[in-house]
Amino acid sequence: MVETGSGPGAATLRRHLVWPDEAATATSAARLAACPAVRNAFIALQGDLGAGKTTLVRHLLRALGVSGSIKSPTYAVVEPHEVNGPQGPLSIWHFDFYRFDDPREWEDAGFRDLFASPGLKLAEWPDKAAGVLPPADLTIALDADPDDSRRVTLTAHSPAGTALLEAA
């Protein structure tokens, strides 16, 4: 289902999906990876602990060609990845703001520069850095059901986000 938002000037687009199992999550991740817009985008991932944010990121990174172990950035806040894909080199930054509580770290750690660089930025717990994060191109909100299925709400905030929303 696709809805078009009607706020002033805000061409937000929303799409609802259900991922019945982790394989469905992986399939959508592969579709996102195949979308050219993924090469310069900020995707914010919302959802409770265990909702599947890191799982989605791992499938996306694998689909983009990241090999080896994929660490969760919870303690480091950001894990950088570099891939050399068919369309050339791609920088990816995987953020987890769960323990982010000092906005000075935003400047000190150079996050402003990372977000201004071309590449893919993925952020778990974006709400914990709401005062400093730039607006996302695409927000993916995950909701776990007891049967392992995930209810997924995609909201696009830019043309890149719209391309990703349509690809997922």
Residues that bind Mg ion (CB under 5 A): 53-54, 124
Site for ligand ADP in 124-143 (CB under 6 A): 124
- The CA-atom distances, in angstroms, between 104 and each of 38, 39, 79, 93, 108 are 29, 28, 19, 19, 6
Q: Specify the residue, 136 or 160, whose C-beta has the smaller distance to ligand ADP.
A: 136
Burial class (CB in 10 A: 0-12, 13-18, 19+), 127: exposed
* The one among 55, 91, 153, 158 contacting ligand ADP by CB under 6 A: 55
Q: Specify the residue, 114 or 144, whose C-beta has the smaller distance to ligand ADP.
A: 144
Smallest gap from residue 79 Cβ to ligand ADP (A)? 13
* The one among 32, 37, 52, 90 contacting ligand ADP by CB under 6 A: 52
- Among ligand ADP, Mg ion, none, residue 49 binds (CB under 5-8 Å by kind): ligand ADP
Find out whether 99 and 76 touch, Cβ atoms under 8 Å. Answer: no
Mask for 56-75, x = binds ligand ADP (CB under 6 A):
--------------------
Sign of CA dihedral 89, 100, 102, 128: positive
Per DSSP, what are the bridge partners of residue 15?
2, 154
Residues 72 and 6: their CA atoms lie apart, in Å, by 37
- Among ligand ADP, Mg ion, none, residue 51 binds (CB under 5-8 Å by kind): ligand ADP
Terminal C-alpha separation, the chain? 13
119 binds ligand ADP (CB under 6 A): no
Residues that bind ligand ADP (CB under 6 A): 19, 21-22, 25, 47, 49-55, 124, 148-150
